[in-house]
Amino acid sequence: MKPSIIAPLTIAVSLALAGCQSDNIFEVTTQVVQEKNDNKMISQDNPFLKEFSTPYGIPPFDKIKKDHYLPAINHGIELNKKEIDLIANNPDKATFENTIVAMEKTGDFLNTVTSVFYGLTGSMSDKQMRAISSEVSPKLSALGDDIALNDALFAKVKAVYLQKSHLNLKPNELTLLETTYKSFVRGGANLNEQDKVKLRSFNDQLSKLSLKFGENLLSETNNFEMVIDNEADLAGLPDDIIAAATVTAKERGHEGKWVFTTHRPSKNPFLTYSTNRKLRETIFNGYTMRGDNENEFNNQKIAAKMASLRFQKAKLLGYKNHANYVLENATAKTSENVFKLLDQVWPAALERAKEERADIQKMIDAEGGKFKVAAWDWWYYSEKIRKERYDIDAAETKPYFSLEATLQGVFYTAEKLWGVTFKERFDLPKYHEDVRTFEVTDKDGSYVGIYMTDHFVRESKRGGAWMSSFRKQYRMYGEDVTPIIYNVLNYPRPVGDQPTLLTFDQASTLFHEFGHAIQGLLSDGYYRSQTGTSLPRDYVEFPSQVMENWMTEPEVLSNFAKHYQTGEVIPRSLVEKIQASGKFNQGFSTTEYLAAALLDMSWHSLETAEIQDANSFEQKLLKKIGLIDEIAPRYRTGYYSHIFSGGYSSGYYGYIWSNIYDADTWLAFKENGIFDQKTADLYRKHVLETGGSEDPALMYRRFRGQDPQVAPLLERRGLTNK
């Protein structure tokens, strides 16, 4: 998932599903099955009550109604409680099998429901779905607390944990034991009863606030519109962007006009191409002021309250601050290590950004402009400089990156590397007409899984791009359960007979998200909580970032980057221009990202419960690090959904941390050949297939034979003196 996106589950739900990780319905004990049949809280016609009879076990989206979710989730919560009680009250001596493995096998029904529900709240949200989410979020949070704070259950887990050196466990089993034990400790199992009550209160409040933050942001994003009724104000904009604005205007009741929104497919092109500086300022401020307006959707106080609660929770659990609590489970391990990396990159990035600012001002002056460059000028003038310096602009490349061709380029790359093929299926259930479904097979012809894509922007879909699953891969029930993986993006819908044409960055995002998807598809693990992308936040982005590299290679481009009208392969001269411009504007992109990462770390390194004034807190940090006025952080507090309604608190730095692994890995492919089979097989075996079965750093060393180095990252971004 790129930095523009957030995880599909809120933190509250992620916490609530600890111990409820499954993605399919299997029988539990006879006692629970009997109790399930006696339970009247769910109607017998609810499709979740039966194992899905659809091909490949795909959720029967055509049969699932919104009214089915709430009773099914409530039913799943009650089932999960009974499953946990059976383990906690088992009179037999605690063993790895009857305690740790038994816990891993709880929650099948609940997670079958929530994997569908939370998958669709991200892409098919409406008032009813949000209302259901508001009701179930605190219940799921409470369930997580019920499990984590169950004294009898923890006593059994601890008894097994204390025997770990004598159990002769396999590496993945030892990881499962250690992870389970640590989750109890981090969940408050060692607290006294009074402090457990406090912890429940913190979790409940955080769950509700996180949900409210996301709802406010969705409302702010959907409510903004910049209506243009003078055709002259469209000067500089590409025809496809104007056509899309016409469609948006019609959909929003402004027939005959043009409407631009803060959704990225609308906002980004406007900032890049519009010659109207005043309108660029309007849409820029519309985007960066989300959640910071004097209305009912203001998120500033919510964010500050969440930061306070997170500190109090971390302190209660024995940690210095929330960042230390989170990073204990990350590859980075400590906040000191995070700041060390950020501080290592920041000075060079800021210096380069200042040079880029000077270049922009020089162009403004040369054109006779009587103003100083501002944040809403950066995209426009940097694109002009890119075109002047490299004789290239996004409008020149877009005809070669139709959505369909780029998707085929992704498939071509995967087949060349790992032998997997994608066959489109039109007969399988899907949740929206935009969804496309592919049957995936391996190089030996064996079935791998299902891959779904949902490409086009719509108001029911939150912004950004992401990957998730309706079912993960695992084998712990004695059979190979295959994955159902999906990507969600926000590309402009095609207008008329014209295909959707992507900018270079949008095409790169498709490769990026597929990098997550291929890890989910090629997963080869035993326990479901360890498979696919079940990895630390600062490592999970690594496979997706690596995938982007293939897109710029001439061999790959020549295969798929063909003019949508003429079929002409992208000219080699244009490919060379793309590669030459790869380090262009890296001061800006690195600095705006690092500023957001540092904002995240600052909020969560607080060691006080005092509620901060969000704007003052933010401005104080930006002044301290020296961020120039012409660049805004990629995310300001009011719309920082990654950390306040997603799972990235104290984790947004993870993209650049993962970049270290990515740059080092790409060196291996460049040295041995971008489609070298030995390198690709090692990467598949030790990175893509392994998930979280062992320490990621150890798995990386098995692949690469060494720890990653920082130098390749700096060189790639053009932040060295080379």
What is the distance between the alpha carbons of residues 608 and 592, in angstroms, rounded to a whole number? 27
Task: Kindly state the average pLDDT of the residues 93-105.
Answer: 98
Statement: 11-148+150-186 belongs to CATH 1.10.1370.40: yes
Q: What percent of the chain has pLDDT over 90?
A: 86
Q: Which two tokens stand for residue 20?
A: 């409820």
What is the distance between the alpha carbons of residues 292 and 298, in angstroms, rounded to a whole number? 5
For residue range 377-405, what is the model confidence (pLDDT) as tens digits? 999 999 999 999 998 877 788 999 999 99
Residue 24 pLDDT: 30
Q: How do the residues of the chain divide into helix, strand and coil, expressed in percent and rounded to 5?
A: 60, 5, 35
Q: Which two tokens stand for residue 103?
A: 């816990």
Instruction: Please determine, for residue 33, whether its predicted confidence score (pLDDT) is greater than 60.
Output: no
What is the distance between the alpha carbons of residues 233 and 656, in angstroms, rounded to a whole number? 38
What residue has token string 């879909």?
Answer: 461
Instruction: Given the residues 513, 541, 618, 630, select the one marked as catalytic.
Output: 513
pLDDT greater at residue 317 or residue 44:
317
Q: Which two tokens stand for residue 211?
A: 């949900």
Residue 34 pLDDT: 37
Instruction: Please determine, for residue 437, whether its predicted confidence score (pLDDT) is greater than 50.
Output: yes
Residue 579 pLDDT: 82
Residue 481 pLDDT: 97
Residue 720 pLDDT: 78
Give 570's DSSP letter. Answer: P
Cβ atoms 102, 14 nearer than 8 A: no
What is the distance between the alpha carbons of residues 148 and 109, in angstroms, rounded to a whole number? 19
Residue 30 pLDDT: 30
Residue 29 pLDDT: 32
Instruction: Please determine, for residue 365, whether its predicted confidence score (pLDDT) is greater than 70.
Output: yes
Residue 158 pLDDT: 97
Residue 14 pLDDT: 34
For residue range 230-270, what is the model confidence (pLDDT) as tens digits? 999 999 999 999 999 999 999 999 999 999 999 998 999 99
Question: What is the third-level CATH fold of 401-537?
Answer: Collagenase (Catalytic Domain) (3.40.390)
Instruction: Please determine, for residue 36, whether its predicted confidence score (pLDDT) is greater than 70.
Output: no
Domain boundaries, the chain: 11-148+150-186, 224-288, 401-537
pTM of the model as a whole: 0.84
Q: Which of 334-348, 469-483, 619-633 has the lowest mean pLDDT?
A: 334-348
Q: Alpha helix (H) ranges present in 42-126?
A: 66-88, 102-104, 108-123
Cβ atoms 561, 409 nearer than 8 A: yes
Q: Please report how many Cα atoms fall inside a 13 Å half-sphere around the Cα of residue 305, on the Cβ side.
A: 16
**Sign, CA torsion 233/235/241/242:** positive
Instruction: Please determine, for residue 718, whether its predicted confidence score (pLDDT) is greater than 50.
Output: yes
pLDDT band of residue 39 (cuts 50, 70, 90) is very low
The answer to whether residue 513 is catalytic is yes
Mean pLDDT (the chain) is: 92
Residue 40 pLDDT: 52
Closest CA to 625 of 593, 652, 656: 593
Closest CA to 648 of 596, 595, 713, 708: 596
Task: Kindly state the average pLDDT of the residues 465-469.
Answer: 96
Residue 16 pLDDT: 31
Task: Kindly state the average pLDDT of the residues 16-24.
Answer: 30
What is the distance between the alpha carbons of residues 450 and 224, in angstroms, rounded to a whole number? 36
Cβ atoms 531, 525 nearer than 8 A: yes
H or E element that contains 298: none
Compute the residue count for the chain. Answer: 722
Residue 580 pLDDT: 85
Cα dist. 538→282, 375, 545 in Å?
35, 29, 12
Instruction: Please determine, for residue 497, whether its predicted confidence score (pLDDT) is greater than 60.
Output: yes
> Angle at CA 653, nearest 5°, toward 376 and 403?
60
Q: Which two tokens stand for residue 54?
A: 């659809």
For residue range 409-430, what is the model confidence (pLDDT) as tens digits? 999 999 999 999 999 999 999 9
Instruction: Please determine, for residue 31, whether its predicted confidence score (pLDDT) is greater than 50.
Output: no
For residue range 159-187, what is the model confidence (pLDDT) as tens digits? 999 999 999 999 999 999 999 999 999 99
Closest CA to 137 of 48, 16, 218: 16
**Which amino acid makes up residue 280?**
R
Residue 721 pLDDT: 64
pLDDT greater at residue 8 or residue 324:
324
